[in-house]
A and B are shown apart, each in its own frame.
Chain A
Amino acid sequence: MHIPDNYLSPSTGAVFAVAMVPVWGHCIKKVREDLDRDHVAFLGVAAAFSFLLMMFNVPLPGGTTGHAVGGTLIALLLGPEAACIAVSVALAIQALVFGDGGILAFGVNCFNMAFVLPFVGFALYRAIAGKALTAGRRRVAMAIGSWAGINVAALCAAIEFGIQPLLFHDAAGQALYCPYPLAVSIPAMCIPHMLVAGVVEAVATVAIYEFVSRTAPEYIVATPEGDSGKGSSLVPVAVFVGVLAVLTPLGLLAEGDAWGEWGTEDVASLVGYTPAGMGQGFSWEALLPDYTFAGLPDVAGYILSAVVGVALLVIVFKLLSAAARPAAATGAKA
């Protein structure tokens, strides 16, 4: 679901970037109020889960690939505002360092995966779980919420793709950016996400949440499983993150590109022409494009990319945690 550069017009990217500014502002303010130092540092670990989930590409119907995001997972652990910040930072690192997701499309990607996904997922979880006391019902609510969150985000991405030919085309009617209209983009994005990626998201969310609630419950603040009075260790979580990082090359098994993430030549072969905006558009030279290291086999490059990405996220949030208030009572539980 990472929209690359030149698939959307720069003006579309700008509009969404501007729209995200008050969202980020509100989320930063809420995180500063609700989370203490330890939880802000843990947000880096949560962001690492999201980063790693996004590296596990799964094959989707239609020959493309997709991935889970983990935004609802973070919302369930630390709140939707924290999830917005965490996923935004993860997307920033992916775009700048690994070239996954466009720079000009950063605002759009954040809107879909950092804002829509976790807020929709968390709201639906709360609506379904209500004041449910049974863990089973809460798990079902988490699964449905996370499934719905990623699908609504995919729908948003599909709409953003699909309106490009309507709004931006040349005199001959050829699209300047994404050439596929809504009638194509919506089913192409939504159906695979509903059938596969959404299920992966739900399973991953519930599984990882359960793991964290058993091994480090004091780090959960947004849901009742959290237990701030119980001391716990992050060692099992750190080991789990390490194992996930080592297993990321499984994502290489899924062949093909994600829908809407083809290269310019692939687009030309699909639609018969290269949209002008794509051919002459913005290009960013990432340090480690597509999670590869020059000179290293893909598997080694993928694992190293996972390690670098996770380490960067943990470092960034640990540094941010230094500005947070010392450990104290955290925000209200769901």
Chain B
Amino acid sequence: MRGVASGAAPLPAWLAEPEPAYEPPRDRDGFLRRNALSLASMLTVFRTPACPEGPIDRMLARVSPVLRLMGTIVCVGCVSAARNMAFVWVALAATLVVLASRPARRILSVARPALVVALLAALVNVPAVFLGSPSAPVRVLMKSFVTVTIVLGLSNTVQTERLFGALASLHVPSHVVLVCDLAIRDLALVGQVATSLNEALACRSIGHAADKSLGTAGVLGMTFVKASELARRQSDAMACRGFDGTFSVERERVITPAGIAYLVALACAVICFVYLEGAVA
């Protein structure tokens, strides 16, 4: 650039004169780039903060995440352990009601993976039909859908900081909580970087790439480099702000009116499970 600014060297001919119309050589690199882009953009899901957006989720948000975690584990356990379908149907009805109370985007973010998992599980169980258990695929499908929806519902509606804080309340070491918290943040940043790099690659892919993997490999490689750089800079920033290895996690009150109501509802669910398992043995 010294050349142009100082006037010593003009623009080269290929830049100073107009070019004939450009017809790009044919190429088929769309598949690789689209898949690299979609892989990278999957990481951007971490950018979408978990947020209670439906009326039921907003009520549940008043409950301590510790209780929510425990409740989720208990509900998933009951649904999985149910030997007859009565309790599973009750759980399905409750799950669908909570799902229906959410905005469309939250419904999709939970229902889509839950359906995929459920259908895969049902598919795996199809041989059971020929082995004398014709209802096995349906049972597995229902149970998978309900349990995955419950778990995803928790992760989609409770902020990660609160969830990790709940882990600390369960005596998980605080440095584990810190690592998890930082990892989520960094994954979101890395996803952003990868998406931007893929866009830059798309903008500069103007013809035929003899080595199709070069650009995509470069993007993935740079993403890794950026991730390492982010981690190093974050460590330096934390040291500059006095981090000495100890990390205290803010703990929420567990026993609140909302928490008590939640425990009562959970107890009712367990009683329902025990009753239906016994009544329909």
Contacts and interface: CB of A to CB of B under 8 A. Distances in A.
B103 A312 contact: no
A140 interface: no
Contacts of B86: 293-296
A311 B103 contact: no
Interface in B89-119: 89-90, 92-93, 96-97, 99-100, 103-105, 107-108, 111
A295 B85 contact: yes
A218 B190 CA distance: 43
Question: Looking at chain B's contact residues, is the secondary structure mostly helix, strand, loop, or mixed?
Answer: helix
Contacts of B97: 307, 311
A94 interface: no
Interface in A52-110: none
Contact of A315 (B55, B84, B92, B107): B107
Interface string A159-193: 00000000000000000000000000000000000
A192 B103 CA distance: 42
Given A295-B276, A295-B280, A296-B86, A322 B108 contact: yes
A15 B36 CA distance: 47
B138 interface: yes
B234 to A, nearest CB: 36
B210 interface: no
B279 interface: yes
Given A287-B138, A295-B86, A314-B100, A319 B93 contact: no
Nearest to B85: A294
A296 B280 CA distance: 8
A79 B121 CA distance: 41
Interface residues of B, number: 22
Contact of B111 (A235, A293, A315): A315
A308 interface: yes
A321 B104 CA distance: 8
B22 to A, nearest CB: 37
Interface residues of A, number: 20
A233 B92 CA distance: 27
A208 interface: no
A293 B99 CA distance: 21
Given A295-B86, A295-B276, A308 B96 contact: yes
Contacts of B111: 315, 319
Interface string A246-285: 0000000000000000000000000000000000000000
A318 interface: yes
A235 B108 CA distance: 23
Interface string A288-308: 100001111000000010011
Nearest to B280: A295
A41 interface: yes
B93 A311 contact: yes
Given A296-B86, A322-B105, A315 B93 contact: no
Contacts of B92: 308
Interface of A: 41, 235, 287-288, 293-296, 304, 307-308, 310-312, 314-315, 318-319, 321-322
Q: Which 4 A-B pairs have the closest CB atoms?
A: A311-B96, A295-B280, A295-B86, A314-B100
